[in-house]
Chain A
Amino acid sequence: AQKVTQAQTEISVVEKEDVTLDCVYETRDTTYYLFWYKQPPSGELVFLIRRNSFDEQNEISGRYSWNFQKSTSSFNFTITASQVVDSAVYFCALSEIWSGGSYIPTFGRGTSLIVHP
């Protein structure tokens, strides 16, 4: 079973539409971290946000917002008024503690977002 499930393989929207990318995770740890990364067509993954398991506050950064709900093990990402530059593959990741004390991330399979002009 996947630890991080991004059920949407590809989403296609028209510019200015709102879009939500879903992420469902699975863990037995009480302390863990959740991340979102963006991979634009150029290829390099870029960090967007981190949430720890004790902080369920939603967060907004400009047109981006994140909704973390432990009750449903979900960490969803919403882009408001999407733009062509938002076209990318978005990855959700779960970091759990491994031996040596490091947190090691497991990634979902990614959601490809295509924003049409």
Chain B
Amino acid sequence: DVKVTQSSRYLVKRTGEKVFLECVQDMDHENMFWYRQDPGLGLRLIYFSYDVKMKEKGDIPEGYSVSREKKERFSLILESASTNQTSMYLCASSFSPPLAGGNTGELFFGEGSRLTVL
């Protein structure tokens, strides 16, 4: 069964702390993504990676960084957590094109990490 695993379901951190959110996928996907989900705003892309050590900014990268040292692992880092980063963080992965045959290009999501910054 395909799987995207996020290291923590719930975290509580204090303002200014450094926060690491880990994500591992077992499907040999090239692409990995970090989204944050907030009520009324849907899913907003923070960063994505299309290969090891490659990363691209999404729509809201400010205050975040990422690391992809191995193909299966994509980490989201909050260098100095702030209260406005309280949110649900979703990791996802997918194959790259060509989207043919059994590859629909769909994203496979983890269960999410709910971060509260006090």
Contact = CB atoms under 8 A, between A and B. Distances in A.
Interface of A: 6, 9, 33, 35, 37, 43-47, 50, 52, 91, 95, 97-110
Contacts of B30: 102
B83 interface: no
Contacts of B97: 97, 101-103
B106 interface: yes
Given A100-B51, A102-B30, A102-B96, A45 B90 contact: yes
Contacts of B90: 45
Nearest to B96: A102
Contacts of B88: 43
B42 interface: yes
Nearest to B4: A44
B31 A91 contact: no
A48 to B, nearest CB: 9
Contacts of B105: 33, 50, 95, 103
7 contacts: A33-B105, A44-B110, A45-B90, A50-B106, A99-B56, A100-B51, A107-B35
Contacts of A109: 40-42
A101 B94 CA distance: 13
Measured as residues with beta carbon below 8 angstroms from the partner, the interface class of chain B is 20 to 34
A103 B30 CA distance: 11
A9 B48 CA distance: 27
A100 B56 contact: yes
Contacts of A110: 42-43
Contacts of B64: none
Contacts of A104: 33, 45, 48, 58
Contacts of A99: 56
Interface string B49-74: 01100101011000000000000000
Interface string B8-35: 0000000000000000000000110101
B44 to A, nearest CB: 8
Contacts of A35: 106-107
